[in-house]
Amino acid sequence: MTAWQRAPFQLFYWPFIQGRGEFIRLALEEAGAEYADVARMPESEGGGAKAIMAVLRDESLRPPPLMPPFLKTDGLVVAQTANILQYIAPRLGLVPEPLQARVAAHQLQLTVADFIGEAHDVHHPIAISLYYEDQAAEARRRAGHFVKERLPKFLGYFERVAARAADSGDDWLLGPSLSYVDLSVFQLMSGLSYAFPNTMAALGPEIPRLSELSRRVAERPRIAAYLASPRRLAFNEKDLFRHYPELDE
Amino acid sequence: MTAWQRAPFQLFYWPFIQGRGEFIRLALEEAGAEYADVARMPESEGGGAKAIMAVLRDESLRPPPLMPPFLKTDGLVVAQTANILQYIAPRLGLVPEPLQARVAAHQLQLTVADFIGEAHDVHHPIAISLYYEDQAAEARRRAGHFVKERLPKFLGYFERVAARAADSGDDWLLGPSLSYVDLSVFQLMSGLSYAFPNTMAALGPEIPRLSELSRRVAERPRIAAYLASPRRLAFNEKDLFRHYPELDE
């Protein structure tokens, strides 16, 4: 047994992208949790993408994950990003205690998930089995609608959520303490700003609270240290959020 | 206060489609729960799509729903289909007690949600603000990949989940008792069979357990009564699952 196999949280996600795994990395980092990013460990130590495939093929799991990210913890293999966050957040102190707040947090996280799916499909509107270049014309058409309709709709929604929190005197979306949803909104804002810089600059005045919330997340000591570390992968054009200038306004 | 406002479960969803609301209707029907399908009530009794809009505009909600379906119960407004099911299932007796089974159920339900999103975007690959006819060419291209790659991938996954349950001697996906995930898989199979009859007929031999599970769900007394009632809306081409012959194999 290598060291990472004793880590209380073992994250399995593709090693070269932020992707959906990043929402989980941010939660573990903010909490200062001891975790292994398994597929980024050397193959000689049981890491690499091979480690992901081994779990996907493990016939003893019920149910198996369909795809990464998934997390091994407590002897369980938990899949689906929002499900993982919901499961670990209480232990990490990243969600308020009352059931009502937990249901609200998960509702917001699932709305983040919907938005991420739409943002991904901007560069892959036809099939994930095709390269971007093979669906660039359709991507361009979809992007026109995404930046004009969907992006303002979703960000406008989260801005309203942030405004109501502020009106109640809360510093964060779910209350006086930071939750995993705040971290996810930061990641959403980061990814969109990378992928659609012109659109996001133009939209800036309409989403002041989201911009300010993202800045405050980035300044949290553990998040700031993480973002400056080699553990934070750079955005790139194999990732969920991709910068293709022709898809931006 | 009209009668429906006293119902312990008040579902808010578009009145003319099954859509995502149907996953919740099936759970409430199977449990024999007393519920109001609010937007299908007459406007004179506070129903109609107006009732949905009134909640979406209610500035006291924190957070507000972004879109239907949402459910009023316990004095809460809960949104996001999978979140609603997770919240009500314990009370309806539609999920096993152990935490591990609940996490597994939700993981599967979120995978159903991913699949539904992809199935929807087959007929709307460019924008939901456009008619199908205005994106029919792109839809046709996407459909080719969906029926050959994505549909077999997702259904093959759920077939494996069903096989492992059967290997453990369980009648249903999560154990000896039916859960909300079984109901959702039934709805998925029904919708796909309506939208892609040729593809589903060809795929039939590879998913015998899913077909059998769907039949057993349809034969449950309360589900059978529901499906034969006017409460079950017919599939149609404004809905999530649409039958356009040119998108089927």
A73: helix, strand or coil? strand
Backbone angles phi, psi at B77, to 5 degrees: -115, 110
Q: Which residues of B touch A114 (CB under 8 A)?
A: 117
pTM, entire model: 0.98
From the candidates B61, B66, B128, B159, which should be mutated to test the interface with A, based on the most A CB atoms within 10 A?
Answer: B66
The answer, yes or no, to whether residue B2 has pLDDT greater than 90, is no
* Nearest one of A221, A158, A160, A162 to A192, comparing CA atoms: A158
Instruction: Tell me which residue in A107, A142, A154 faces B79 most closely, judged by beta carbons.
Output: A107
Give the pLDDT band of residue B231 (cuts 50, 70, 90). Answer: very high
Q: Return the amino acid letter for B11.
A: L
pLDDT of residue B1: 65
* Nearest one of A97, A98, A119 to A184, comparing CA atoms: A119
Joined together, the tokens standing for residue B198 give 């040729």
User: Would the CA dihedral through B48, B50, B52, B58 be positive or negative?
Assistant: negative
Is the CB of residue A182 less than 8 Å from the CB of residue A105?
no
The answer to whether B96 faces chain A, any CB pair under 8 Å, is no
Is the CB of residue B26 less than 8 Å from the CB of residue B33?
no
Integer Cα distance of B8 and B86 in angstroms: 17
Whether residue B63 and residue A108 make contact (CB cut-off 8 A), yes or no, is yes
Between helix A180-195 and helix A151-167 the angle, nearest 10°, is: 140
Distance of CA A83 to the CA centre of its chain: 12
Integer Cα distance of A161 and B1 in angstroms: 29
* Nearest one of A71, A118, A96 to B107, comparing CA atoms: A71
Averaged pLDDT for residues B234-249: 97
Q: Which residues of B touch A108 (CB under 8 A)?
A: 63
Whether residue B80 and residue A157 make contact (CB cut-off 8 A), yes or no, is no
- pLDDT, tens digit, 9 for 90 and up, residues B9-38: 999 999 999 999 999 999 999 999 999 999
Q: Give the CA distances from residue A62 to residues A10, A59, A141, B107, in Å, rounded to whole numbers and listed in that order.
A: 18, 8, 41, 11
Integer Cα distance of B82 and B63 in angstroms: 17
Percent of chain B with pLDDT over 90: 97
Whether residue A103 and residue B76 make contact (CB cut-off 8 A), yes or no, is yes
Q: Give the CA distances from residue A95 to residues A179, B73, B83, in Å, rounded to whole numbers and listed in that order.
A: 5, 22, 16
* Nearest one of A65, A111, A119 to A240, comparing CA atoms: A119
Integer Cα distance of B118 and B112 in angstroms: 10
Q: Give the CA distances from residue B53 to residues B47, B50, B64, B82, B90, in Å, rounded to whole numbers and listed in that order.
A: 11, 5, 11, 21, 29
Integer Cα distance of A48 and A12 in angstroms: 9
> What 8-state DSSP symbol labels residue A222?
H
ipTM greater than 0.90: yes
pLDDT of residue A1: 65
- pLDDT, tens digit, 9 for 90 and up, residues B200-225: 999 999 999 999 999 999 999 999 99
A46: helix, strand or coil? coil
Average confidence score pLDDT of chain A: 97
Q: Give the CA distances from residue B72 to residues A86, A110, B36, B102, B227, in Å, rounded to whole numbers and listed in that order.
A: 22, 18, 10, 22, 24
Joined together, the tokens standing for residue A223 give 């998040």
pLDDT of residue B4: 84
- Which chain A residue lies closest to B137 (C-alpha atoms)? A138
Whether residue B126 and residue A138 make contact (CB cut-off 8 A), yes or no, is yes
Contacts across the A-B interface (CB distance below 8 Å): 113
* Nearest one of B34, B26, B5, B70 to B214, comparing CA atoms: B26
Joined together, the tokens standing for residue A137 give 């014309």
Is the CB of residue A19 less than 8 Å from the CB of residue A232?
no
Integer Cα distance of B202 and B159 in angstroms: 15
Whether residue A127 and residue B145 make contact (CB cut-off 8 A), yes or no, is yes
Low-confidence ranges of chain A (pLDDT < 50): none
Residue bearing tokens 């460990």: A41
Averaged pLDDT for residues B46-69: 95
Is the CB of residue A87 less than 8 Å from the CB of residue A20?
no
